[in-house]
């Protein structure tokens, strides 16, 4: 794995990238809300997924220009993550895939509805779809295994310092915490790298000691 990757990128600044076995990850941030966009690719074939059609379609086109993108996949449907949807779909010609639970938030119907447990074949790389509602009903995480560690693209479901916003709903906070404890922290090792929808990266091991604190604080 390349050692220069830090996980910190500035909005509309240069991207960072790393390679872990067959897995290539490119991270960039777009616009003032610091929306992270990722290109997850097979290092051998160049086949790739674009994660989140957040904004700056010209920048997104540049980020996939040297890859063979199969589709764009959404972590969820909040407006700041879908602003480039129509350009990605119509100008770049990429299908946009996501979970039907967020259909009311999406600007148009998805080209493919993704379900929990699906495996998306991206060249030699297999990307697992994890449905974990709470931040939104259709929130998805994407998991891929490199040679050295798992890589988890968590959208707005998990950040450094806690789960995503559940907007005052005790039920949704319970759901997001239950999902994180069973589907992420109960399953994945500490070295798992977490790529959130905004801001810097973290690891499962960094966040694991704080689970009880997050559940107690209720947001």
> In terms of Cα–Cα distance, which of 28, 24, 25 is closest to 12?
28
pLDDT, average across residues 3-15: 94
What is the tens place of the pLDDT at every residue in 20-75?
Answer: 999 999 999 999 999 999 999 999 999 999 999 999 999 999 999 999 999 999 99
Domains of the chain, with CATH numbers?
Answer: 16-217 (3.60.15.10)
What is the tens place of the pLDDT at every residue in 168-211?
Answer: 999 999 999 999 999 999 999 999 999 999 999 999 999 999 99
Q: Is pLDDT above 80 for 3?
A: no
The residue assigned the tokens 């968590």 is 154
């Amino acid at each position: 794995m390349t050692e220069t990757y830090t996980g910190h990128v500035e909005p509309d600044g240069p991207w960072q990238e790393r390679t872990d076995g067959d897995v290539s990850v490119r991270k960039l941030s777009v616009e003032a809300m610091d929306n992270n966009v990722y290109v997850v690719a097979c290092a051998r074939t160049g086949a790739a997924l674009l994660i989140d059609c957040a904004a700056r379609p010209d920048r997104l086109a540049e980020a996939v220009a040297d890859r063979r993108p199969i589709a764009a996949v959404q972590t969820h449907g909040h407006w700041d993550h879908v602003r480039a949807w129509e350009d990605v779909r119509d100008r770049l010609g990429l299908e946009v895939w996501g979970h039907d639970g967020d259909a009311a938030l999406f600007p148009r119907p998805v080209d493919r509805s993704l379900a929990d447990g699906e495996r998306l074949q991206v060249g030699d790389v297999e990307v697992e779809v994890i449905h974990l509602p709470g931040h939104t009903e259709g929130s998805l995480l994407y998991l891929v295994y490199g040679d050295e560690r798992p890589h988890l693209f968590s959208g707005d479901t998990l950040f450094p310092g806690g789960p995503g916003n559940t907007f005052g709903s005790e039920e949704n906070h319970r759901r997001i915490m239950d999902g994180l404890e069973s589907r992420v922290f109960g399953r994945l090792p500490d070295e798992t790298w977490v790529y959130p929808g905004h801001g810097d990266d973290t690891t499962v091991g960094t966040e694991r000691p704080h689970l009880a604190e997050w559940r107690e604080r209720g947001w």
